[in-house]
Copies of this chain bind each other. A is one copy, B any other.
Amino acid sequence: MIFTKIVTKSVVTILPKCSFRWITKQTCPLFPPLQAEQAASAVEKNSAPPVFTQDEVNSHCSLEDGVWVTYKACVYDITEFVAMHPGGDKILLAAGGALEPFWALYAVHNQEHVLEILSEYKIGLLSEEDLKKQQSVETSDPYSSDPKRHPVLRVNNLKPFNAEPPPEILSDSYITPSAIFFKRNHLPVPQVDPASYRLHVEGLPGGVLTLSLEELKTRFPKHTVTATLQCAGNRRSEMNKVKQVKGLNWGIAAISNATWGGASLRDVLRSAGYGPEVAQWARHVQFEGLDKDVTGTAYGASVPLNKAVSEEGDVLLAYEMNGEDLPADHGYPVRVVVPGTVGARNVKWLGRIIVSAEESSSHWQQNDYKGFSPGTDWDTVDFKSAPAIQELPIQSAITTPTDGAAVDRSSEEVTVKGYAWSGGGREVVRVDVSVDGGKTWQVAQLKGSETGQGVEPSPPPGRAWAWKLWEVTAPLPPEAQELEIVCKAVDNSYNMQPDTVPPIWNLRGVLSNAWHRVWVKIREDESEE
């Protein structure tokens, strides 16, 4: 069935370009073996596929000259697909060459439907000679040196590694243990030697400041900040239920809270010569990671200059997480922690800092991590029309009970727990919880940092970087057989969460912060049955 579909589509697509018809040999891995009858019939209609040299493929490496790629024994003209690639024009990195090293990096491609799409663009075979050459260059797994992870993590993607803890464990501790802190890697974890590690600070008139790890630790006072990080895609799975989006299917736990220790970015920039009078053209501070793809392109992002240099911005060049060296998955030896700002700007394995007039030009700053209207689709989206996500909006979720759980009628009440957080240093001031789907509401008890000294006083205005855990006990409504438990939080700018998911749905599934809902059954006691 798949085969028939492929041939049909392939013919339709290819004809206008190449004016020939052919079907694949079994050596071409995208096509399953033919049934005898199908094969005979297909062969009648088609001639032998053309064969291209690697040099011919290499020469098609731009939208102007056409974009050709190879995968195993086959050659593809993907020129028309470039605009439709979910990962944006990063696909052009493979133009004129082999897909294998990129797919090894972005393992999301290892799915049958990706091969189906690719097959529509097939135009011929790679010459036997070039194929042999290519196969002799063994593709090594760039993820082979990734660290071991805690088995309790729920893995959304293995390569690059993306995983979240079970929600009910998440809300057990105000400070998330590093081992279960959600992991969101875009690329393989780089192995960095702390002795030879150097951080470069560029873009200022005085030239480049280069710091060793030791210098970063000794030349600048150590600051500690307890800050919550959240992935822009946290709770994406709820958007997927409305309509399919592109991205990892995160649950509610792509958010965690840690105490970070390191040098103040402000101090380092001033040491590198920055001052309000020195770089008046500067608007952004870019960060570049040491994690790189096969072409050598590093992960990158930027934040507005005023966040980076403000004393109240509390931006750290962190070398400690929860009192220990940063773990490999969290950016060892140095990462940026930009409190109140989406996880994607908290660049890990930090290699370069660049003070600049422009935002980072990286894919992740320009063509990803932006929000759009629910009516915007992949045909109409203009990434330039939306600002890069920086501060995140008010958020909360229920960690216990979990969706589909049951409570006993005899318990007469249900205890609901969760987290709440807002971006930009806005403090969560209230969480409302409903057990009847939002008709009536109770105010939850907010829990602070649990020092044993009671709830700490509010942080200074605009510097509430850490989440609040919360809890409320609600009586079971006598008539109800099922509870729809809902939570919504309010920050000190009195921003509230939207009621429902569809009106905030967006094609990348980011910024999913509607009221969180779980359905819980009430189990009648056996003695009463």
Contact residues of A with B, CB < 8 Å? 304, 306-307, 312, 371, 373-376, 386-387, 389-394, 423-424, 429-430, 432, 438, 440-443, 460-462, 488, 490, 492-500, 503-504, 511, 513
CB contacts (< 8 Å) of A394 on chain B: these are 495
Contact status of A461 and B307, CB under 8 A, knowing A493-B391, A496-B504: yes
Contact status of A374 and B432, CB under 8 A, knowing A306-B312, A460-B306: yes
Q: Chain B residue with minimal CB distance to A461?
A: B304
Contact status of A496 and B461, CB under 8 A, knowing A312-B306, A373-B441, A441-B375: no
| Residue from B371, B460, B499 within 8 A of A498 (CB atoms) | B499
Would B490 and A371 count as touching, CB distance under 8 A? Answer: yes
Would A438 and B495 count as touching, CB distance under 8 A? Answer: no
- A504 to B440 alpha-carbon distance, docked (Å): 11
Contact status of A371 and B494, CB under 8 A, knowing A429-B387, A499-B500, A503-B441: yes
- A18 to B386 alpha-carbon distance, docked (Å): 70
- A375 to B387 alpha-carbon distance, docked (Å): 37
> Apart from A373-B430, A387-B429, A389-B494, what 18 extra A-B contacts exist at CB < 8 Å?
A304-B461, A371-B430, A371-B490, A375-B432, A375-B440, A375-B441, A375-B442, A387-B492, A391-B492, A391-B493, A392-B493, A393-B494, A394-B495, A423-B493, A424-B493, A488-B503, A496-B498, A498-B498
- A394 to B497 alpha-carbon distance, docked (Å): 11
- A159 to B490 alpha-carbon distance, docked (Å): 34
CB contacts (< 8 Å) of A495 on chain B: these are 393-394, 495
- A430 to B488 alpha-carbon distance, docked (Å): 23
Copies in the complex: 2
Q: Looking at the assembled complex, report how far the CB atom of A60 sits from the nearest CB atom of chain B, in whole angstroms.
A: 37
Would A386 and B488 count as touching, CB distance under 8 A? Answer: no
Q: Chain B residue with minimal CB distance to A304?
A: B461
Q: Looking at the assembled complex, report how far the CB atom of A144 sits from the nearest CB atom of chain B, in whole angstroms.
A: 38
Q: Looking at the assembled complex, report how far the CB atom of A336 sits from the nearest CB atom of chain B, in whole angstroms.
A: 17
Q: Looking at the assembled complex, report how far the CB atom of A226 sits from the nearest CB atom of chain B, in whole angstroms.
A: 20
Would A511 and B499 count as touching, CB distance under 8 A? Answer: no
- A386 to B461 alpha-carbon distance, docked (Å): 14
CB contacts (< 8 Å) of A312 on chain B: these are 306
Q: Chain B residue with minimal CB distance to A306?
A: B461
For this complex, 21 residue pairs linking A to B, each with C-beta atoms less than 8 Å apart, are A304-B461, A307-B461, A373-B430, A373-B432, A373-B442, A374-B441, A375-B432, A375-B442, A376-B443, A386-B429, A390-B461, A391-B494, A392-B493, A393-B495, A423-B493, A494-B511, A495-B495, A496-B498, A496-B513, A498-B498, A498-B499
CB contacts (< 8 Å) of A460 on chain B: these are 306
CB contacts (< 8 Å) of A393 on chain B: these are 493-496
